[in-house]
Structure 1
Amino acid sequence: MGSGCFMDEPFEIICNSSFNPPRPFLAAHTSKEVIEVSLEQHYVRIFRTFVTQNCYDSHSGQGSIYSSHSSNYTPFTFSATLNKFIAIGCDILAYISADDSENYTAGCVSLCPTTIPDVNSSSSSCSGLGCCRTSIPKGIYFYNLYIHSINTNERTWSSESCSVAFLAAQDFSDFNKFLSINNKELHNQKYPVVLDWGVGNGTCEESRKNKNSSTYACGDANTYCIDSDSGSGYNCNCSQGFHGNPYLPSGCQDIDECKDPNIKRNCHSAATCINTEGSYYCACPSGYHGDGIKLGKGCLPVPDKRSLPLAVVVPLGIGIAMVLITLFGFGLWGYATVKRRKQIKLKQTYFKKNGGLLLERQISSCEGSGRVESTKIFVEEELERATDNFNENRILGKGGFGTVYKGMLSDGKIVAIKKSKEVDENQVDQFINELMILSQINHRNIVKLLGCCLETEVPLLVYEFISNGTLSNHLHDEHYLPSLSWEMRLRIAVQIAGALAYLHSAASIPIFHRDIKPSNILMDEKYNPKVSDLGYQDQFPLIKLT
């Protein structure tokens, strides 16, 4: 921005002081206002005002236009990555071709249903409805634009008969500005265009041969050369760890990475970031060693030379560890032994409280009579294994009486285990007497009591498992299909009556159920009823029934 402050005349930029504040322009073309210059990406962004316009003549039916455009001089070419060819209007075919049209031609079509829409709206996106755009070839400094009217025989719109086409930066989106002005103001509308640039006429390899000559553009050892991908010549960049202007002598200066908080955080908390020419490293403080990198080896204390030798420390550490492990093992064994003794004592207490001693005496007194051959006293561990420690997934039902679990004994037999909520200690004798009576019931239509467990806080009763739900389910639940026929219902009623007759008349002590209802009648797989819920019922001597 001063006398001689440019590499070649095409790169000269001047200040136009007629604006406030002054604006930069290309000296070779004072109408080209400079918006941005990028040394890293090798482009200059400028404002242009010239567009190609085509107005359809409905009387003559003509509507075609052609124009040529140029960056006017090297080393500038129109950027293929940062520009787009744009056409705005109704029912037009617009296309762009390079100077050698045999190598590249691209275009797009813009249509309108009735009138040109708001091409700035997000729904349009310049994708063919009143506006279209497409890519351009790489490395061109001269191009031709063409606009042709189409659908001339079936025009459906009545306004906006003029259309425009131009080359603009790909982020340009103010398309409507070209449709809301008259023709005189059209060529005063500014839009951005991006020009790529390169220096020299040869490649990097050719230029390196003349590196010591004044024609080599890259400034010093802290630069590197890359061939231009948009035209002839090459570009210079600062090497990694440097920034600045690579075209000036000593123009690439070292970057102090340690001033960047993001880079500084790479160092370990105990390390110090040290800047070097083109790089940096993390230094550990005195008394520490390592690479200083947070995600690397970090900073570790230097071992004290006065400490014991490794040959002594390792065996000593192993010996101490073995002693601690042995002591810990003895502690666990002692704890487990004490705990096991407490559990045994607690089980004995529960067994006595729940009438276990009375049950054993009654079983012993009845041995040889054949009446209690199927009665069994289960231990708690067997029922825990059978129910997977009374897992909630094994629950068959809950009620005021307690919870019923499904289990499988060690012999593979499936059983139902009833866990009561509580037992009145004052009625333990009555509970044991009833248990003895119920265990002697043997009828095919009465659920069989297999045994009990008295080692738990509340007794556990073990029954045979009946798998087909209750009579209430089959009478009232829709998903228990098929429904019971009248013949089956009559048979079930007769079987239930037979079971009740057995309880009233055939049992050693008559038993009155007093709660016969469908939900207390279980059904097996062959739809045979099983009377259940006999626990804690009233027993009467036979003479009291008359």
Structure 2
Amino acid sequence: MATMRLKEMQKQLTRLTVLLVMALTAASQAQPGCPDSCGSVSSIPYPFGIGTSSVNGENCFLEKDLNLTCTDSTLYRGQGNVQILNISLAGKIDMLVHISKVCKNELLGGVKTQGNLPSLRTPAFAISSEDNKFVTVGCDTYGYLNTFRNGTQSSTGCLTRCDSIESVQSRQRSGNCTGIGCCQVDIPPGMKNISFQASTFKNFNSTSDIPECTNNEHTCDSKDHCRETLGSFECFCPDGLIGDGTREGGGCHTRQKADAFTKIIIGAGVGLIALFIGIFWLYLIYEKRKVFKLKQKFFQQNGGIILRQQLSTREDSSHTTTIFNAEELKKATNNFDESLIIGKGGYGTVFKGVLSNNKVVAIKKSKIVDQSQVQQFINEVIILSQINHRNVVKLLGCCLETEVPLLVYEFVNNGTLFDYLHNQGHRVNVSWKMRLRIATEAVAALSYLHSAASIPIRDVKTSNILLDDNYTAKVSDFGASRLVPIEQTEIATIVQGTFGYLDPEYMQSSQLTEKSDVYSFGVVLVELLTREKPFSFDKTEEKRSLTVHFLCSLKEDRLFDVLQVGLLDEENQQEIMEVAILAARCLRLIGEERPSMKEVTMELEGIQLTKKHLWINTGKNFEESQYLLHETQSSYEHGDSSGQQNIEYDSLREHELIDFGNGR
């Protein structure tokens, strides 16, 4: 609606009747406990309603679109400002909606259209085409009634045109809308979600081309930059100047000034970008240099310079120690991802890694290193890297750029002998033939380390004997692989999983010797015979220590009672008896009376080569066995009338309360 309006539209509201799409219920009353009137609206029938019921707390309305609000005795639709005048049982609602208007004195040229459009969203209602008309009032005015249906807009409307305002006023007084200063159209059925739009235009037959430039009714930056047009004006910049000529657009200015300004803007932008990039690169260089210096510090601290010097003087290059960089091992383990951990204990953590050449390796990340033992550590790394034995886990190299050196070994992927014997996941019947082969391979590696490599092993146990795909034994965790200080080695050896393998002589002398390794291997042999753990707190006192229980059973001629059930048969009786006697010799209390690792190797290899035959407990075998057994037992009974055969067992009992942690 434009400059002039009909009398019934003076309040800028118009009455609109809408039809309820859904059928109303037959009942004309509101729900129990719900208001049934508001101000002049005397009847609010269900499914309409206000709020919730005071009786049962349920909604007074059927659906959200039928929710009404009563504010200051005035009924509104929902929480909005659409006033409802009446609700009939015939399914019609009378409501007031805002009109659309535009003032002609706001028009400077061309067409003026209202910005914000009054609208009414009625997804559940349709505008009644019988009770409503769409009316446009004013001179040189047109109005639109827009609707949206399924995302598509459609419109209807009409246009008025007149030469004078008096014609409109006369029609307004008569109350008729005949087309002069006022027009109306029928509303199409089924319109929903409507909006009103009013516009006005210049009628050049009824108004004169106003001199906006002369009268200073323009938006140009200067009158000289304003040009009159038919019914309007335009801003421009004369030759030699650039710009749009408007006040808002910055007006007109010379090209040199514009170019200079543009250059300043571009220069400032490029400068800021260059400054940001420079600062960023300086930061990266600083961080890179910081990391580099830290790596250098660790490399020197861990004996890297010593290792390089010794490697450069070596004539034999057949077994080269690789010095890995930290980034290479970090990439190989996906930044030491926990999902790649294959071993964990008091000594540190072992990760599975894949090098850039696709070689699978085991990377040991220790917890601590004794700086006073760096020289010894470097010497052992060089020695260990030269070891080339099929039953020894190969040390491929190390990384010295980290706080604690990383050791890189060949990857052995079938677990440990301890897991194979004791863990529930491997509770399969391991044949005696396989056990004897594994024992022979392991002791051959230990003998090699003792004699050829002169490596102090110090930690022989089934969890340090790895198995490859063919169940070939490979000895690991020896020499520099622990990387713990000497004073901590003693504690680690007792506490971290070696309980039950420890040489009883160590309890008195605090010295670990090659014969200590022999004793520990004797425990390994007993594990292979019995498939029992070296020490179990959950067993009876006489059976807690596997070695004590084994030796007592052997002395009392009850060896077969302590063997694993089902292991013994007619073909392996002799071999099992010989291995049991060898284990007993390895377990003698006095280290000097134990065989050397080389002698143990020769005996096991001899047992393997012996032709299979039925073992008969002849007098000779019995006498030899008894002699060896009593000789073994005598080492536990050095003149003490009360006997000291339980020295080892008693010493173990003293450590029953030690916390083992989760180490190997």
What band does the TM-score fall into relative to the shorter chain? 0.3 to 0.5
Q: Going by fraction, where is helix more abundant, 1 or 2?
A: 2
Query: Normalized against structure 2, the TM-score is what?
Result: 0.37
Considering fraction of residues, name the structure with more strand.
1
Q: TM-score, normalised by structure 1?
A: 0.44
